[in-house]
């Protein structure tokens, strides 16, 4: 090693010792006769002092040092003179009195300094990612990620899980997300697809008898990005044989308890709370509700049906709902203009017709421009239903069930943030269970799988497959942390006949099923054990545990929202020769 210690290591115990440090020049303070350099590596910072005692040659070279130069300094560890200690620095009681300096590498003037307070634009950070990754917050995020994955691997190893790698080059399955395709040179005109998840492979592993499988697996989905979504992401993927939903959830409960304990010092109460999908939609309008705060939805469709207010009555009479929420004590917080903004939000983002509102006056009466459209008794019933108290603000949306869910869930999330209804440091873990098997696709006019087509229905719902698929519930469970879907899983179908029946319901005819999933259908006929599993988004977990608000901040080399890499310039055009070899011609 070129160094004897790291830049975060030296303490008063080392006083008098010779030491050699290597690192980057974080800052330098040149006083002509004496010169200070804060030398930085990922372990910390140490002050190096160059003075006439360092020798004229060394001092002269030190004067040429600039930000981000890489140097090796040898010297004596010394106590700082009284009164010059730096309490903000772990190494602040000592300094290295330089005797020898070697410039290992110079740096161009960096576009930004990793130690600076002001953060450059994210564009600049991504363009010069190697500089950004030198920043302490990024190094902490990378370290947190490393520690989390280490804990995960240890945990599953203790439980007897086997880590098996599955292929990155697989078969395209147009169901679900768009695939990233990889052309085959050997078979021109054909393509591999990068995995959206190792779903089918892990089921095959169960059939192969591996019993408990785990993998930290890279996955790819060619869909539009979000603050918590990358085209390339990492899943904790696992599968178990001979299990029921509770068995999988118990394993994850244990993992979450360990991660929360080891990484955050939080003790989780197990089992984690479990709520059905129906209850979540009823109470929060969302299948991944943020349960750090209440603000539950209230249904007043029955009142709306009788009231003269046309907007409400029409919604109620056409099978829709009128629901709303009570922003406690928020009437003064939102002016007319503020409410207009909320209205614009639900209208533009969720397609609501509008946002009805009431402010609760000092007498507990509902006041609003639309109040005249209601009879006093109806207003009183609504006030009671919302538990309206003076100073409250009631916000209501009328429309089809799923629209009221989406709009009010969005509104609830927004109000939770704007009204500081929760402590940002708080963590809430819960399960949402018993999802519907199918969702009806209005455009295509048919059933689609809510999770994926290999999901097993609840045994008691089997008759519903034929009679009323919409009511059929799956053996499915999602882990929700702070309103973020951290992962989801299901018990799988292990019976060929049932699998074929589900395919039929989804409009996947026998021939297509055979083409795409024939290998699975075949494998199911060779002694498939009952099995199920789950996949958790590791990037999201790191984001949540690190209290980051952006998934890019916990990925070393992330993509932009347009799925490009600003550092490498990927994706890029390729040589005509490469295309020719693959039998591909670009049409544009």
Partner RNA sequence: GGGGGUGUAGCUCAACUGGUUAGAGUACCGGACUGUCGAUCCGGUGGUUGCGGGUUCGAGUCCCGUCACCCUCGCCA
Q: Interaction with RNA in 532-571: which residues (CB under 7 A)?
A: 550, 552, 560-562, 564, 566
Near RNA by CB under 7 A, which window of 44-52, 184-192, 457-465, 525-533? 44-52
> Does 51 interact with RNA (rule: CB under 7 A)?
yes
Binders in 115-144 for RNA, by CB under 7 A: 116-124, 126
3-state secondary structure 135-172: CHHHHHHHHHHHHHHHHHHHHHHHCCCEECCCCCCECC
Three-class DSSP labels, 532-565 = EEEEEEHHHHHHHHCCCCCHHHHCCCCCCCCCCC
Phi, then psi, of 103 in degrees rounded to 5: -85, 110
Measured from the CB atom, is 383 or 532 closer to RNA? Answer: 532
Binding residue for RNA, selected from 153, 229, 313, 385, defined by CB under 7 A: 229
Whole-number Å distance between alpha carbons of 232 and 290: 25
- Name every residue whose Cβ is closer than 8 Å to that of residue 366 and which is 6 or more positions away in sequence: 358, 359, 360, 374, 379, 382, 383, 388, 394
- 52: contact with RNA by CB under 7 A: yes
By C-beta, is 337 or 372 nearer to RNA? 337
Kindly identify the residues of this chain, within the stretch 499-538, that bind RNA according to CB under 7 A: none
226 binds RNA (CB under 7 A): yes
For position 112 contacting RNA by CB under 7 A, the verdict is: yes
Which token pair is 551? 């998934």
In the region spanning residues 63 to 102, those forming contacts with RNA, defined by CB under 7 A, are: 66-67, 80-81, 83-86, 88-89, 92, 95
Rounded distance between C-alpha atoms, residue 47 and residue 19, angstroms: 13
Q: Which stretch binds RNA (CB under 7 A): 154-162, 219-227, 385-393, 416-424?
A: 219-227
Nearer to RNA, 36 or 43 (CB): 36
- Looking at the Cβ atoms of 50 and 293, the one nearer to RNA is 50
433 forms beta bridges with: 276, 477
Choice between 257 and 397, CB closer to RNA: 397
Distance in Å, CB of 90 to RNA, minimum: 12
Cα-flanking dihedrals φ and ψ of residue 339, to 5°? -70, -35
Burial of 121 (0-12, 13-18, 19+ CB in 10 A): exposed
- 151 vs 225 by CB, closer to RNA: 225
Residue 193: CB minimum distance to RNA, A? 11
Dmax over Cα atoms in the chain, in whole Å?
A: 93
Which burial class, exposed, middle or buried, applies to 76 when counting CB atoms under 10 A from its CB (0-12, 13-18, 19+)? middle
Q: What is the DSSP string of 208-249?
A: TT--EEEEEEEEE--S--BTTB-SEEEEEEEEEES--HHHHH
Q: Single out the residue of 54, 58, 113, 430 in contact with RNA (rule: CB under 7 A).
A: 113
**Site string (332-361) toward RNA, x via CB under 7 A:** ----------------xxxx----------
CB of 570 to RNA, least distance (A): 11
400 CB neighbour count, 10 Å cutoff: 14
> Which of these segments, 3-11, 49-57, 139-147, 158-166, binds RNA (CB under 7 A)?
49-57
E runs forming strands in 231-380 = 232-241, 274-276, 298-299, 321-327, 356-360, 366-367
Which region, judged by CB under 7 A, interacts with RNA, from 106-114, 182-190, 264-272, 303-311?
A: 106-114
Q: Which of residues 242-281 bind RNA (CB under 7 A)?
A: none
Per DSSP bridges, beta strands 274-276 and 429-433 are parallel
CB of 441 to RNA, least distance (A): 8
Among 40, 41, 47, 415, binds RNA (CB under 7 A): 47
For RNA, which is the closer residue by CB, 223 or 468?
Answer: 223
Q: Pick from 27, 76, 184, 276: which binds RNA (CB under 7 A)?
A: 27
Segment 371 to 400, residues that bind RNA, using CB under 7 A: none
Report, in Å, the least distance between residue 498 CB and RNA: 17
Does 105 sit near RNA (CB under 7 A)? no
x/- mask, RNA, residues 429-468, rule CB under 7 A, reads: -------------------xxxxxx---------------
223 contacts RNA (rule: CB under 7 A) = yes
Decide whether 26 or 461 has the Cβ nearer to RNA: 26
- DSSP strands (E only) in 385-457: 393-399, 429-433, 438-441, 446-449
Cα separation, 107 vs 103, in Å, equals 10
**Of 158, 148, 426, 425, nearest in space to 262 by CA:** 148
In the complex, minimum distance from the CB of residue 490 to RNA, in angstroms, rounded to a whole number: 9
The residue (of 197 and 499) whose beta carbon lies closer to RNA is: 197
- Could you tell me how many residues of this chain bind RNA (CB under 7 A)? 73
Rounded Cα distance, 313 and 239, in Å = 49
Rounded Cα distance, 150 and 142, in Å: 12
Selected from 7, 10, 39, 49, the binder of RNA by CB under 7 A is: 49
- For tokens 């192969």, what's the residue? 208
In sequence order, the β-bridge partners of residue 366 are 360
Q: Work out which of 58, 166, 197, 326 binds RNA, going by CB under 7 A.
A: 197
Q: What share of the chain is helix, strand, coil (3-state, %, to 5)?
A: 35, 25, 40
| From 6, 9, 20, 34, residue interacting with RNA (rule: CB under 7 A) | 34
From residue 543, alpha-carbon distances to 148, 216, 251, 388, 423 in Å are 11, 16, 21, 37, 17
Nearer to RNA, 317 or 340 (CB): 340
Who's near 377: CB < 8 A, 6+ residues apart?
none
> Which of 328, 406 has the CB closer to RNA?
406
Q: Which region among 22-30, 316-324, 392-400, 466-474 touches RNA (by CB under 7 A)?
A: 22-30
Q: Does 36 bind RNA (CB under 7 A)?
A: yes
Strand order in the sheet with 484-491: 162-163, 212-220, 232-241, 531-537, 484-491, 476-481, 429-433, 274-276
Using rule CB under 7 A, residue 187 touches RNA: no
Q: Rounded to an integer, what distance in angstroms lies between the CA atom of residue 40 and that of residue 212?
A: 44
CB atoms within 10 A of CB 291: 19
Judged by CB under 7 A, the stretch of 204-212, 225-233, 264-272, 495-503 that binds RNA is 225-233
Under the criterion CB under 7 A, does residue 38 sit at the interface with RNA?
yes
Please state the closest distance from residue 61 (CB atom) to RNA, in A: 15
């Amino acid at each position: 090693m070129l160094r004897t210690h790291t830049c975060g290591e030296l303490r008063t115990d080392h006083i008098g010792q010779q030491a050699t440090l290597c690192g980057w020049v974080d800052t330098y303070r040149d006083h002509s006769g004496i010169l200070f350099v804060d030398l930085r590596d990922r372990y910390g910072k140490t002050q190096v002092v160059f003075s006439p005692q360092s020798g004229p040659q060394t001092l002269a070279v030190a004067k040429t040092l600039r930000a981000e130069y890489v140097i090796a300094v040898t010297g004596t560890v010394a106590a700082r003179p009284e009164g010059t200690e730096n309490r903000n620095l772990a190494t602040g009681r000592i300094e290295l009195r330089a005797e020898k300096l070697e410039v290992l590498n110079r740096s161009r003037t960096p576009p930004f300094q990793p130690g600076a307070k002001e953060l450059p634009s994210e564009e600049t950070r991504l363009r010069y990612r190697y500089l950004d990754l030198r920043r302490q917050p990024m190094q902490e995020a990378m370290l947190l990620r490393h520690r989390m994955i280490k804990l995960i691997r240890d945990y599953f190893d203790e439980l007897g899980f086997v880590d098996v790698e599955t292929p990155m080059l697989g078969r395209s399955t147009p169901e679900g997300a768009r695939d990233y395709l990889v052309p085959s040179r050997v078979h021109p005109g054909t393509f591999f697809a990068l995995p959206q998840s190792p779903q089918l492979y892990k089921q095959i592993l169960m059939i192969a008898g591996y019993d408990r499988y785990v993998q930290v697996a890279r996955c790819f989905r060619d869909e539009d990005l979000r603050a918590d979504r990358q085209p390339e992401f990492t899943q904790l993927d696992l599968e178990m044989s001979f299990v029921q939903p509770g068995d999988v959830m118990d394993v994850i409960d244990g993992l979450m308890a360990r991660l929360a304990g080891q990484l955050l010092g939080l003790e989780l109460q197990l089992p984690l709370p479990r709520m059905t999908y129906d209850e979540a939609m009823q109470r929060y309008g969302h299948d991944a509700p943020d349960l750090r705060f209440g603000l539950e939805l209230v249904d007043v469709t029955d009142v709306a049906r009788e009231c003269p207010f046309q907007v409400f009555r029409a919604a109620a009479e056409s099978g829709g709902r009128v629901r709303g929420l009570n922003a406690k004590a928020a009437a003064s917080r939102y002016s007319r203009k503020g409410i207009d903004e909320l209205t614009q939000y639900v209208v533009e983002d969720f397609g609501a017709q509008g946002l009805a509102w009431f402010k609760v006056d000092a007498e507990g009466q509902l006041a609003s421009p639309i109040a005249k459209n209601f009879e006093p008794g109806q207003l009183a019933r609504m006030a009671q239903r919302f538990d309206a108290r003076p100073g409250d603000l009631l916000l209501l949306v009328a429309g089809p069930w799923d629209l009221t869910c989406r709009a009010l869930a969005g509104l609830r999330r927004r109000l939770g943030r704007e009204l500081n209804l929760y402590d940002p440091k708080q963590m809430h873990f819960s399960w949402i269970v018993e999802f519907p098997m199918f969702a009806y696709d209005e455009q295509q006019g048919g059933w689609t799988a809510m999770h994926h087509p290999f999901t097993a229905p609840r045994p008691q719902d089997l008759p519903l497959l034929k009679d009323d698929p919409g009511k059929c519930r799956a053996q499915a469970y999602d882990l929700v942390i702070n309103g973020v879907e951290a992962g989801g899983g299901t018990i799988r179908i292990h019976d060929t006949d049932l699998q074929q029946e589900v395919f039929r319901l989804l409009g996947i005819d026998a021939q297509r099923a055979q083409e795409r999933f024939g290998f699975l259908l075949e494998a199911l006929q060779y002694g498939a054990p009952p099995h199920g599993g789950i996949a958790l988004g590791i990037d999201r977990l790191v984001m949540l545990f690190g209290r980051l608000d952006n998934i890019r901040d916990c990925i070393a080399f992330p993509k932009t929202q347009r799925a490009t890499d600003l550092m490498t310039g990927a994706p890029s055009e390729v040589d005509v020769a490469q295309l020719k070899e693959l039998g591909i011609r670009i049409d544009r």
